[in-house]
A and B are shown apart, each in its own frame.
Chain A
Amino acid sequence: MMTFQSILFDSNNHHLIDETVEAPVFFNDLNLDQVINAITSGKQDYKLEPFFYDPLHDVETIQYRHEIMQDLENESLMEKIQYFAEKMVIMRRYLALIEKLDFKYHREGWFLEAAGAYSEAVVGLVQGLNHANLRSRGFLALREYMNHYANSDGFTLLLADTKNLQAALSTVKYCVIIKNRTVRVRRYDEEIDYSKEVEKTFEKFKQGAVKDYRARLAIGAGMNHVEAQILDCVARLYPDMFASLDHFCVQHSHFIDEIIRVFDREIQFYVAYLEYITKIKQAGLEFCYPQIATVDKEIYDYEGFDIALATRRISENLPVVCNDFFLKDKERIFVVSGPNQGGKTTFARTFGQLHYLASLGCPVPGKQARLFLGDRIFSHFEKEENIKNLRGKLQDDLIRIYDILERATPNSIIIMNEIFTSTALKDAVFLSKKIIERIIELDLLCVFVTFIDELSSLCEKTVSMVSTVVPENPAVRTYKIVRKSADGLAYAISIAEKYRLTYYQLKGRISP
Chain B
Amino acid sequence: MKAFLMYKDQDFNLEQRLPPNENALIQDLELNTLFNAMACGDRFMFDVVKKAVLGSIHDLDTIRYRQDILRDCLKNPSIIRDIYAIPITALENKKKQWLGLGIFSSFPSAILNESLKMMEMFVDLLKKLRSIADENSHNFESEGFKTFFAMIIRELNDEYFLEIQNHLKELKFRDGVMISAGLGKGNEGSDYVLRKPKNRKRNWVKEIFSQDHPVYTFSISERDEYGARALSELKDRGINLVANALAQSADHIDNFFKMLRIELAFYIGCINLYEQLAQLGEAISFPLPVASNERRHSFIGLYDVCLALTMKQNIVGNEVNADHKDLVMITGANQGGKSTFLRSIGLAQLMMQCGMFVPAENFVANLCSGLFSHYKRKEDPTMKSGKFDEELSRMSSIVDYITPNSMILFNESFAATNEREGSEIARQITNALLEKRIKVFYVTHMYELAHSFYERNMENAIFLRAERKTGGRRTFKLFEGEPMQTSYGEDVYNTVFRTLPTHSLVSI
| Chain A interface (Cβ < 8 Å from any Cβ of B) | 94, 97, 105-106, 108-110, 113, 169-170, 172-199, 201-202, 204-208, 210-217, 220-227, 229-231, 233-234, 236-237, 495-496, 498-503, 506-507, 509-512
Contacts and interface: CB of A to CB of B under 8 A. Distances in A.
Contacts of A214: 240-241, 244
Given A195-B194, A510-B404, A188 B180 contact: yes
Interface stretch (B45-53, B63-71, B224-232, B489-497): B224-232
Contact of B187 (A169, A205, A215): A169
Given A169-B183, A202-B249, A225-B230, A207 B217 contact: no
B233 A217 contact: yes
Contacts of B384: none
Given A191-B178, A202-B252, A507-B436, A227 B230 contact: yes
Contacts of A196: 245
A499 B395 contact: yes
B34 to A, nearest CB: 29
Nearest to B2: A207
A162 B496 CA distance: 96
B176 interface: yes
Interface string B237-263: 110111111111101110110010000
A178 B235 contact: yes
Nearest to B163: A201
A469 to B, nearest CB: 22
B140 interface: no
Contacts of A183: 217-220, 231
Contacts of A225: 226-227, 230
Contact of A215 (B1, B107, B182, B403): B107
A202 B246 CA distance: 8
Max chain B C-beta neighbours (<10 A), residue from A110, A113, A175: A175
A231 B189 CA distance: 8
A499 B194 CA distance: 65
B1 to A, nearest CB: 5
Nearest to B397: A499
A113 B186 CA distance: 7
Given A183-B220, A231-B187, A510-B402, 9 more contacts: A176-B238, A179-B176, A183-B217, A183-B218, A185-B216, A198-B242, A202-B249, A224-B227, A512-B404
A71 B334 CA distance: 78
23 contacts: A113-B185, A177-B205, A181-B219, A182-B218, A186-B213, A192-B198, A194-B194, A194-B196, A198-B167, A198-B242, A204-B1, A207-B2, A207-B255, A211-B102, A213-B115, A215-B243, A226-B220, A226-B230, A227-B234, A499-B393, A501-B392, A501-B429, A510-B402
Contact of B392 (A185, A222, A499, A512): A499
Max chain A C-beta neighbours (<10 A), residue from B167, B171, B438: B167
Contacts of B215: 184-186
Contacts of A182: 217-220
A506 B429 contact: yes
B216 A226 contact: no
Given A178-B231, A507-B432, A106 B102 contact: no
**3 closest pairs, A vs B, by CB?**
A179-B176, A109-B187, A202-B249
Contacts of B9: none
Contacts of B214: 186-187, 236-237
B219 A215 contact: no
B320 interface: no
B216 A184 contact: yes
Nearest to B399: A509
Nearest to B11: A207
B305 interface: no
B245 A202 contact: yes
B131 interface: no
A505 to B, nearest CB: 8
B245 to A, nearest CB: 4
Interface in B141-189: 155, 163-164, 167, 171, 175-183, 185-189
A190 B219 contact: no
B399 A510 contact: yes
B388 interface: yes
Contacts of A106: 186-188
Contacts of B186: 94, 97, 106, 109-110, 113, 221, 223
A193 B231 contact: no
B196 A202 contact: no
A196 B259 CA distance: 25
B428 interface: yes
A496 B392 contact: yes
B103 interface: yes
A93 to B, nearest CB: 11
B151 to A, nearest CB: 9
B459 interface: no
A210 B107 CA distance: 18
Contacts of A226: 220, 227, 230-231, 234
B431 interface: yes
Contacts of A110: 185-186
B32 to A, nearest CB: 29
B136 interface: no
Contacts of A206: 252
Contact of A195 (B230, B241, B389): B241
Given A105-B187, A170-B183, A495-B388, A201 B164 contact: yes
Contact of A207 (B111, B177, B242, B252): B252
A186 B256 contact: no
B194 A213 contact: no
A167 B233 CA distance: 28
Given A175-B180, A205-B252, A496 B236 contact: no
B106 interface: yes
A146 B314 CA distance: 92
Contacts of B253: 202, 205
B428 A496 contact: yes
Contacts of B245: 195-196, 198-199, 202
A201 B167 contact: yes
Contacts of A188: 180
A229 B164 CA distance: 37
A506 B182 contact: no
A322 to B, nearest CB: 31
A174 B213 CA distance: 11
A214 B248 CA distance: 10
B413 to A, nearest CB: 11
B193 interface: yes
Contacts of B180: 173-176, 188, 191
Contacts of A511: 403
Contacts of B388: 495
A51 to B, nearest CB: 33
B253 to A, nearest CB: 5
A178 B176 contact: yes
Contacts of A192: 195-198
Contact of A170 (B182, B221, B395, B432): B182
A184 B231 CA distance: 12
A225 B395 CA distance: 72
B321 interface: no
Interface string B110-125: 0100010000000000
B102 A207 contact: no
A193 B193 CA distance: 7
A378 to B, nearest CB: 48
B435 interface: yes
Given A178-B177, A229-B218, A109 B404 contact: no
B290 interface: no
B289 interface: no
Contacts of A502: 428
B182 A175 contact: no
A495 B195 CA distance: 75
B80 interface: no
Contact of A506 (B2, B163, B251, B432): B432
A172 B182 contact: yes
B108 interface: yes
